[in-house]
C-alpha cells in the first residue's frame, strides 16, 4: 500500500493547503502495533468491532467503533492532505494513535485512515461545555488514493472560497466607495424582483380563476351565477390553504435561519473574545489604533 510520509515537504502540515470543512468525524484509539496493518487488516479491525456490537446495530457495512464523537455530530474541522484539527469532548494525549473516518459533508467524501495526535489543548473556553479540547493530528499510512482525493477536494474548496471572497470584497468595496449609488442599485433590483414575482402570482391567480369556472360548470351543469358563487368559495379556500402553507414555510425558514445565525454570531463573538484575550497590551493598542484610523479616514475622506 502506498503511503504518505509525514516528513515529506509536499505534505508537511505547515505548508499544505488547509480548509475549514463541515464533517462528521468518527475515531477510535488503537495500539501502535496496528499501524502496520494493511488495508484489509484495517477492515478487519472495523469488522471486529462491528461483530462485538449488538445484533440490532448490525448491517451490511461494518459499523465504526464507539468513540466520544457522537453519531451525526457535525464538526467544523480544519483539514489538509497531511493532517486534521478538530474539537472533541475527550482529552487525548500527544502520541496517541487513532483510527479515523471522516465524512466531508459538502461532497459526501469519506476518508478512512490512521492518524497520530500531535497536540491536545483547551479549545475556545467559551465553548468548553460542548467541546473542551482541541486536537491536532497528522495522518499516518494515508493511501495515495485518499491523499489525492483530499487534495482535489481541498483545491475545489479553495477555488470556491476564492470566488466567494472575491465577490464579497468587490461588493464591499463598491459599498464603501459608492454608498449612495450602491444602495440605490440594491433598492432598484429588489423592487424589480418583487414586481416580477407579483406579476407572476397575478397571472397564476387569473389563470386559475378563469379555468375553475369552466370546470365547475362542466361538472355540475350550474348556471352562471351559481358557477361564480361556487368558484368564489373554492378559490378562497384554495388560496387560504396556499397562503397558510407559504406562511408556515416562511416561519420555519425564518426560525431555522435565525437559529443558525445566532449560533454563527455567538461563535464568532466567542472567537473574537478569545483572540482578543490572547493579545498583549501593545497588540491591542495597535488593533484599536489601526481600526480607529481606518474608520475616521473613511468618514472624513471617503464619504
The three grid cell numbers given for residue 178, joined into one nine-digit string: 459608492
pLDDT for 302 equals: 59
- Mind listing the pLDDT tens digit for each residue in 216-250? 888 888 888 888 888 888 888 888 998 899 999 99
The dihedral built from the CA positions of residue 220, 225, 226 and 227, taken in this order, carries a sign that is: positive
Q: Is the pLDDT of residue 149 over 60?
A: yes
Q: Is the Cβ–Cβ distance between 102 and 19 less than 8 Å?
A: no
Q: How confident is the model at residue 3 (pLDDT cuts 50, 70, 90)?
A: very low
Cα separation of 64 and 103, whole Å? Answer: 12
Q: Is the Cβ–Cβ distance between 276 and 284 less than 8 Å?
A: yes
pLDDT for 164 equals: 87
Residue 99: is it exposed, middle or buried by C-beta count within 10 angstroms (0-12/13-18/19+)?
buried
DSSP secondary structure letter of residue 278? H
119-129 average pLDDT score:
73
The three grid cell numbers given for residue 260, joined into one nine-digit string: 443558525
Q: Of 92, 204, 168, 179, which is closest to residue 137 (Cα–Cα)?
A: 92
Q: Is the Cβ–Cβ distance between 74 and 23 less than 8 Å?
A: yes
The three grid cell numbers given for residue 187, joined into one nine-digit string: 433598492
DSSP H or E run through 238:
helix 224-278
10-39 average pLDDT score:
67
Q: Is the Cβ–Cβ distance between 154 and 80 less than 8 Å?
A: yes
Cell 408556515 locates to 248
Give CA 62 to chain center in angstroms: 27
67-84 average pLDDT score:
66
**Considering the chain, what percentage of its residues have pLDDT values greater than 90?**
11
Q: How confident is the model at residue 253 (pLDDT cuts 50, 70, 90)?
A: very high
The three grid cell numbers given for residue 100, joined into one nine-digit string: 479515523
CATH topology of domain 9-154: Thrombin, subunit H (2.40.10)
Q: Is the pLDDT of residue 63 over 70?
A: no
173-196 average pLDDT score:
83
Domain ranges of the chain: 9-154, 199-295
Q: How confident is the model at residue 69 (pLDDT cuts 50, 70, 90)?
A: very low
Amino acid at each position: 500500500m502506498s503511503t504518505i510520509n509525514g516528513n515529506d515537504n509536499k505534505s508537511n502540515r505547515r505548508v499544505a493547503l488547509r480548509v475549514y470543512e463541515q464533517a462528521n468525524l468518527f475515531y477510535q484509539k488503537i495500539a501502535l502495533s496496528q499501524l502496520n496493518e494493511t488495508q484489509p487488516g484495517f477492515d478487519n479491525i472495523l469488522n471486529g468491532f462491528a461483530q462485538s456490537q449488538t445484533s440490532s446495530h448490525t448491517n451490511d457495512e461494518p459499523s465504526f467503533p464507539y468513540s466520544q464523537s457522537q453519531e451525526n455530530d457535525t464538526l467544523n474541522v480544519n483539514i489538509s492532505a497531511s493532517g486534521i484539527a478538530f474539537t472533541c469532548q475527550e482529552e487525548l494525549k500527544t502520541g496517541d494513535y487513532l483510527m479515523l473516518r471522516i465524512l466531508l459533508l459538502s461532497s459526501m467524501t469519506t476518508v478512512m485512515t490512521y492518524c497520530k495526535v500531535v497536540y491536545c489543548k483547551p479549545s475556545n473556553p467559551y465553548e468548553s461545555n460542548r467541546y473542551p479540547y482541541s486536537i491536532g493530528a497528522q495522518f499516518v499510512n494515508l493511501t495515495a488514493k485518499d491523499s489525492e482525493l483530499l487534495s482535489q477536494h481541498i483545491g475545489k474548496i479553495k477555488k470556491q472560497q476564492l470566488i466567494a471572497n472575491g465577490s464579497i470584497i468587490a461588493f464591499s468595496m463598491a459599498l464603501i466607495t459608492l454608498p449612495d449609488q450602491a444602495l440605490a442599485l440594491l433598492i432598484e433590483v429588489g423592487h424589480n424582483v418583487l414586481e416580477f414575482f407579483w406579476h407572476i402570482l397575478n397571472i397564476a391567480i387569473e389563470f386559475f380563476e378563469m379555468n375553475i369556472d369552466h370546470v365547475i360548470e362542466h361538472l355540475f351543469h350550474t348556471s352562471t351565477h351559481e358557477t361564480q358563487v361556487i368558484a368564489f368559495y373554492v378559490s378562497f379556500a384554495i388560496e387560504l390553504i396556499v397562503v397558510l402553507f407559504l406562511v408556515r414555510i416562511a416561519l420555519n425558514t425564518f426560525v431555522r435561519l435565525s437559529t443558525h445565525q445566532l449560533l454563527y454570531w455567538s461563535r464568532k463573538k466567542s472567537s473574537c473574545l478569545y483572540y482578543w484575550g490572547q493579545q498583549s497590551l501593545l497588540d491591542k493598542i495597535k488593533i484599536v489604533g489601526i481600526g480607529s484610523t481606518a474608520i475616521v479616514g473613511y468618514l472624513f475622506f471617503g464619504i
